[in-house]
Amino acid sequence: MGTWRFSSCPRCRCDMFLEKDEDGWYELCLQCSYRKELASIYELEKEPDQREKEKALTGGKPQRGC
């Protein structure tokens, strides 16, 4: 069973359905069929470690983009 997110579709502002299948978590708008793949919790937990490694490599200075 999935979860509803009311008025959260970025395309049409209708309701989206949060669901999981064999490929992972996603949100699906039932009105316009917009689909957004969601990151897994494992990937989100890895991000702080990656930021710490980048910080250590740059000496704590933020990197500038072009």
Q: What is the pLDDT of residue 9?
A: 92
Give the structural domain span for 46: 3-58
Asked whether the beta carbons of 32 and 9 are under 8 A apart, the reply is yes
Distance CA 7, CA 52 (A): 36
Distance CA 51, CA 33 (A): 34
Query: What is this structure's pTM?
Result: 0.54
- pLDDT for the residue numbered 65: 47
Residue 65 lies in a domain: no
- Whichever domain contains 50, its CATH number is 2.20.25
**Torsion angles phi and psi, residue 53, rounded to 5:** -65, -45
Q: Using DSSP, state whether 51 is helix, strand or coil.
A: helix
66 within a domain of the structure (yes/no): no
Q: Are 29 and 11 in contact (CB under 8 A)?
A: yes
pLDDT value at residue 14: 92
Nearest 5°: phi and psi at 16?
Answer: -120, 150
Query: What is the number of structural domains in the chain?
Result: 1
Regions of the chain where pLDDT drops below 70: 1-2, 40-66
In a domain, 8, yes or no: yes
Residue 13 lies in a domain: yes
- 63 inside domain: no
| Residue 42 falls inside a structural domain | yes
Look at residue 4 in the predicted model and tell me its pLDDT: 84
